[in-house]
Structure 1
Amino acid sequence: MLAIVVSRADEASVHIGEQLLDIADWTETVDDSRPDADGGGTVYRTDGAQLREFEGRHLELEDVAEAFEEPSLLVFASKHAGETDELLTAHHTGNFGEAEYGGESGRFARAAPNAHRTVVHALAAHAPESYDVGMECTHHGPTEVGVPSMFVEVGSAEPQWRDPAAARAVAEAILDCRGVPADAPAEDGHRRQVVGFGGGHYVPRFERVVRETDWAVGHIGADWCLDALDDFASDHQYEAVVERAFAASGAEYGLVTGDHPELVDTVESLGYRVVDERFLRETTGVPLEFVDAAESAVEPVSEGLRFGEAARDADEWRVVSLPEELLAEATGIDGDAVRSWVEANTLAFGTEQQGTVVTGPVVLDATTDRAAMVDALADVLRKRYDSVERDGDELRAREQRFDPGLADTLGIPEGPKYGQLSAGQSVEVDGRVIDPETVHSERIRCFTL
């Protein structure tokens, strides 16, 4: 059940609450077991959601989930204040350093990465035309909520807090979270969730991850948060805070922006994996179990592993090496054609030069054999060679080439006539007509398969 918290101390929250009540059918009951200021009094219920009002400010409401009946996700409908004009935003709560605005120092509320991803997309779908949609780092309390939670906000000043269209967009996005799990589904013990580190307060890199991949983002420590962590924590506390950020995000992966070697060492020493944006993009849609297996069998994504179009359906598979000389020759002739075939017909493959050049090995499914790969490379060779034939474990490529030595024996001067003969045109020298085949010799290249 989705729990929605409206604060009477927050003008924007009140307006979002009004829009929430307007766009869904709610039933009203009275809860006399709690003070009206603490979520008692009138309680609003609709399919999959419950709304309660509180007197205090959101960031001071600790253990607020206790007011609701078995919530699985809690959303604070709130305002955003800043120098960002019209903005709809969402973020998780906690403190990497000293708690200046609610909550405890060095502690975090349980994030809702999957639901947060849903609400960012929903805000984009519902936002009025003049409003941007963004994400923020983790930067204030509360740190004890009781269930996974997040803030969904309208900002950034009084005109926007009072804007019915903005409040309605936030209300619709919040209700779009009904029935959405807080966490991404488990895949072989893993989840597509990361903790973010580095960058500015409004975290554009992590927003790209949420918008453009199937990964979700939990807590985010912007650069200023990491500075606050440095000021707050001893060595032991530093490690403990980082560990809490991962635990409160339900994540095993960390995405680090900028130069933070001590942080990277700490994350890895805790047993979590530091990945880059390329990893998240490459693995989008690919089962994490297969990602792990392919990285072990070929190489890590960071070193060049790339996934083919069929990787999302990987079942039975095997690793196959490629004929190095044949692959190199085909790549030199038409590297794009080689890459396109491999991407369309393999599950995964090794590369170099930032993923642009296929090197192998490749991972094939049960329906594709190595011979098909060899045939594809042979087809690329035919763009340059006159004939390409397979003979057992060998591929022979033949071509007729202009031979300057033969031309010299016939007294043909270097210059334009060389170019004409090389291009297959006859030339006249001292009254003699020289046909191109006269000065061409056959070249054969053999490739071991």
Structure 2
Amino acid sequence: MVYSVNDVAGAGMAKRLREYFNCRPLSSSPISFNDIKPIEIFSCSDYDTLLLGFNEDTIYFDFLSSITKSKSIIVLSKHSSQSGLPSLTTHPTGNPWGRNDFGGRPWELSLSNPIFMWLFLKNIKKFSDILPRFEISYEVTHHGPTSIRVPLSFVEIGSTESEWKNEIVQDIMARGIMKTIEDMTNINDKPCIATVGFGGPHYAPIFTKRAFEYSECYGHMIPNYVIRELSDMEIKKVVELALSYTPYVDRIVIEKIRSDAKRIITEVARSRGIEVVKI
């Protein structure tokens, strides 16, 4: 688990997790990150977990690519939005186009973690009666880091300082993360249908709804605002990337995109024997 020490939401979640995971401070990190050094280092006896705080902003955590043997990486972070909507979200990372406005590299996606994100949403949903104002949802694939090849997920508190600093919210997120890691250690078979989504808006309400109703666990989700900027050749490239970096993908769900993009996505899916659902 990693966070920025300058992120009040991420650092707040980390503080709670240190208590829940029986963590003790270390003087040095057992993992090298070249010139980058963690500011805070904790070894957690529960579930063999490291908790590392860095000075850098989380969208620039590509140095985590030096981690190769972990089962997963969880990034604890704040979320900002113009709407200021209180939210608890999770998402994979990547730049599914030729831009890298917020870290990472263009045309690069990190390895997603569909089962973790699905379980996390389900676990956080259990607290919705305590936080009725909060939207609980996926966000689509966006921002860096993009070079990580260990399954990576962001978990975020949004969307203003009031929510970021809220200790009740931080505690609920920490409990949701802890329960999800516990669940992951007890899974033998796939508990959900690994799915890639295309279309829809940034907060992916349809994909989130389907995750709960149809047990679709989403990896990469490419929104309509990206797809409408791409040529036919670029759409095919993005489909290949999204499928390659979503483990065990069995299904594609297509929502509200132009017909030629829908055709290209369907052709690539069929060539791989992947089911396509159009909504």
TM-score, normalized by the shorter chain, greater than 0.5: yes
Residues 28 and 89 of structure 1, relative CA distance in 2, 3 Å threshold: same
Cα distance, 1:123 vs structure 2:
1.4
- SS of 1:255's partner is strand
Q: Which amino acid aligns with 2:56?
A: G
Give the number of equivalent residue pairs.
266
C-alpha displacement at 1:184, in angstroms?
9.1
Q: Is the 8 A contact 1:135 1:207 kept in 2?
A: yes
- Pick aligned residue for 2:28 from 27, 31, 48: 31
**CA–CA distance in structure 2, aligned partners of residues 102 and 216 of structure 1:** 25
Q: How does 1:419-434 map to 2 (within 5 A)?
A: none
Moved more, 99-108 or 19-28: 19-28
Supply the RMSD in Å over aligned alpha carbons. 2.6
Q: CA-to-partner distance for each residue in 1:24-61, whole Å, 9 max, x for gaps?
A: 32233222664795336633313112211111111111
Tell me if structure 2 keeps the 8 A contact 1:197–1:220.
yes
Match in the other structure for 1:125: 126
Question: Following TM superposition, where does structure 1 have runs of at least 4 consecutive aligned residues deviating by more than 6 angstroms?
Answer: none
C-alpha deviations, 1:257-309, integer Å up to 9, x for none?
A: 1143222222233224453278xxxxxxxxxxxxxxxxxxxxxxxxxxxxxxx
**Residue equivalent to 1:54:** 54
How far apart, in 2, do the equivalents of 1:143 and 1:214 lie? Answer: 26
Letter in 1 for 2:235: Y
Matched, 1:136 2:134: no
Which runs of 5 or more structure 1 residues have no equivalent in the other structure? 279-449
> Contact (CA 8 Å) 2:232, 2:264: kept in 1 or not?
no
Alpha-carbon contact 1:8-1:14 (below 8 Å) kept = yes
CA contact (8 A) 1:79 1:154 kept: yes
TM-score, normalising length: structure 1: 0.55
The aligned counterpart of 1:359 is none
What's the CA shift for 1:138?
1.0
Inter-CA distance 62–259: structure 2 relative to 1 (3 Å threshold): closer
Which residue of structure 2 aligns with residue 226 of structure 1?
227
Tell me: CA distance 1:117–1:20, structure 2 relative to 1, closer, same or farther (3 Å): same
Displacement of 1:220 in angstroms is 0.8
Does structure 1 residue 177 correspond to structure 2 residue 158? no
- Alignment partners' CA distance in 1, 2:175 and 2:21: 9
Max radius of gyration: which structure?
1
Structure with the greater relative contact order (CA < 8 A, sep ≥ 6): 1 or 2? 2
Q: For residues 186-335 of structure 1, what are the structure 2 equivalents within 5 Å?
A: 192-228=193-229, 230=230, 235-250=232-247, 251-270=249-268, 271-272=271-272, 273=274, 275-276=276-277
> Partners of 1:236 and 1:223 in 2: how far apart?
16
Stretches of structure 2 lacking an aligned partner (at least 5 in a row): none
Distance 1:199 1:63, change over 3 A: same
> Counterpart of 1:99 in 2: which secondary structure?
coil
User: Does residue 1:165 correspond to 2:168, yes or no?
Assistant: yes
Tell me, what secondary structure is at the counterpart of 2:118? helix
1:215 Cα deviation (Å)?
1.9
Q: 1:150 to 1:41 in 2, by over 3 A?
A: closer
Q: 1:239 to 1:132 in 2, by over 3 A?
A: closer
Instruction: From the superposition, tell whether residues 235 and 276 of structure 1 become closer, same or farther in structure 2 (CA, over 3 Å).
Output: closer
Aligned partner of 1:66 in structure 2 is 66
Q: 2:23–2:42: 8 Å Cα contact kept in structure 1?
A: no
CA contact (8 A) 1:64 1:146 kept: no
Structure 1 residues 86 and 237: alpha-carbon distance in aligned structure 2, compared to 1, 3 A threshold:
closer
1:63 touches 1:146 (CA, 8 Å); kept in 2?
no
Equivalent residue letter for 2:212: R
Q: Tell whether the 8 Å contact from 1:184 to 1:216 is kept in structure 2 after alignment.
A: no
Matched, 1:89 2:94: no
Cα separation, 1, equivalents of 2:29 and 2:113: 30
**Percent identity of paired positions between Structure 1 and Structure 2:** 22
On the 8 A contact 2:21/2:44 being kept in 1, the answer is: no
> Contact between 2:94 and 2:110, CA under 8 Å: does it hold in 1?
yes
- Is contact 2:20-2:178 (8 Å) kept? no
C-alpha displacement at 1:204, in angstroms?
Answer: 1.0
